[in-house]
Amino acid sequence: MKSVFKTNDRVFAGAATAVLLMATLWWEFFGHNFLSGTRGWWIFGDLNLMISGANVSTLSGVTHFYTPSATGSLAPPGFIYLLVVLDTIARDFNLTMPLLTASHLRFGQTNAALNIRNHYEYLYGSAAVLLLPCIALASSLPLLAFNEFTSRMGDLRRWQARGGLIIAGCLLFWMSAQWGHPDDAVSIGLLLWGTTKLIDGKIGMAGWLLGASLVMQPVSGLAIPLLIALIPMRKMPGFIGRIVVIPLLAVIPQAIGGWHYTNVALRLQPDDGPFKTPLFMLATPVSVFGSHVANVFVAAAPFRTVSSAAAVLVAGVVFWMVCKGWRPRVDQIAWMMALCLSFRMAVEPVMWPYYVVPALVVACTLAGRISLPRLSVAVLAMALTVVGVSTHATPWLYWMSFLIPLAITILALCPPAAPFVDNRSSTASPVRISRVVAS
């Protein structure tokens, strides 16, 4: 499948990636604290917690990420494994720096069980020298996957497509640098990269990449049932097996090292977001780290099960339509992925603003495929979504303030329908996904 951007826009995507990398490094080392009137470097709370886990976990002791005495992390373990490797390298090369005075540091919360003085003397040294640049690079690379994915659509409006890439870069910066969740950015990049390989017919590689995306952040799993529905049925078992293997390998050591806390983290999925939706009244309080924080966390798993069921329902409809002869185009696949990822916004009892980013980034891939008036409406609705999800309000008003503009965004980006073609008369079973996807 040829595309006018398959080669020449890699240069633009590479330049945008470099700009995002420099902006993220500037923000972490200088920008945030310069604007705050302080000195030091910036590591937001959740990223700080993950780096704390890497700091206290050597390569030989990576089985207690969910245990409060180690990290107390509630995130999937994939990204922390990566940080452990980087942190071990930092230790081996003694990449530490003198501790700045406390008044010059700007940092999020960390686990009280750690030795604070020694921890920050090492943490901020290794983070500044090695970890933060590597994290900034990892959270910038998804723009390259974004470009490769959009290049498979073909017939793109050049500057609109580039504008979509720039907006996606801004969203990734907001999520990774400001909110401290580069793991979500890496997950989005792996999801787009895996989908690109799937479209190219490389089903095995796509399975491994989607599994890696899932172990970084399970929210990408909302788009995976849809992708499974596009696979020839005889290849589904191997494809699903590849997706499942990496998450299992990542979770098993944690389950062995601390079953109770791993069970709580994965089965209940506790969340303590600062913004409450009306569903908060139905949520069950969960005591995660002890009685002193009881009722702060709530179990988000029952609500997220609803969004997963909705994504599976969409996948079922797509599978039926493909069996009937429907050949979805790449832009339609992108739109359905954004739709499935947006289901999460309707069911969360508590919210963090960056939760909207995965759906919006995937939606940005459609910028070059729609008319300028519709794109203008979509961009405005995206901006209102970000503002709404970041603004404190009463639960019902808060919920509507981002759900309505998010729905407008998804509707404005909806591509035209693809025609049905009669593939049932063919006796050859499709081997490549490109035989299912329309040109």
Residues 407-429 pLDDT 10s: 999 999 998 775 555 444 433 33
Q: Tell me, what's the pLDDT at 3?
A: 40
Helix axes 78-92, 236-257, angle to 10 degrees: 60
When pLDDT is averaged across residues 284-308 and rounded to a whole number, the result is 76
Give the per-residue pLDDT at 69: 64
Cβ-proximal residues to 38 (8 Å cutoff; 6+ apart), any chain: 103, 104, 105, 106
DSSP state of 326: B
Give the span between the Cα atoms of 271 and 18, in whole angstroms. Answer: 33
What per-residue confidence (pLDDT) applies to 28? 81
pLDDT at 103: 32
Confidence check: pLDDT of 113 > 70: no
Q: What pLDDT score was predicted for residue 7?
A: 42
Whole-number pLDDT of residue 439? 54
Mean pLDDT over all residues of the chain?
82
In angstroms, how far apart are the furthest CA atoms of the chain? 74
Q: Using one digit for the tens of pLDDT, what is the confidence trace for 22-46?
A: 999 888 877 776 776 665 566 666 7
83 compared with 308, residue with greater pLDDT: 308
What is the pTM for the complete model shown?
0.88
pLDDT in tens, 368-411: 999 999 999 999 999 999 999 999 889 999 999 999 999 999 99
* pLDDT at residue 245 in the model: 95
Q: Is the pLDDT of residue 55 over 80?
A: no
pLDDT of residue 314: 96
Of residues 71 and 90, more confidence is placed in: 90
| Strand positions, DSSP E, 134-250 | none
How far apart CA 118 and CA 128 sit, in angstroms, is 15
> Is the confidence at residue 49, as pLDDT, over 90?
no
Over range 257-276, report the average pLDDT: 86
> Span 295-305, mean pLDDT?
85
Q: Which residue has the higher pLDDT, 259 or 190?
A: 190
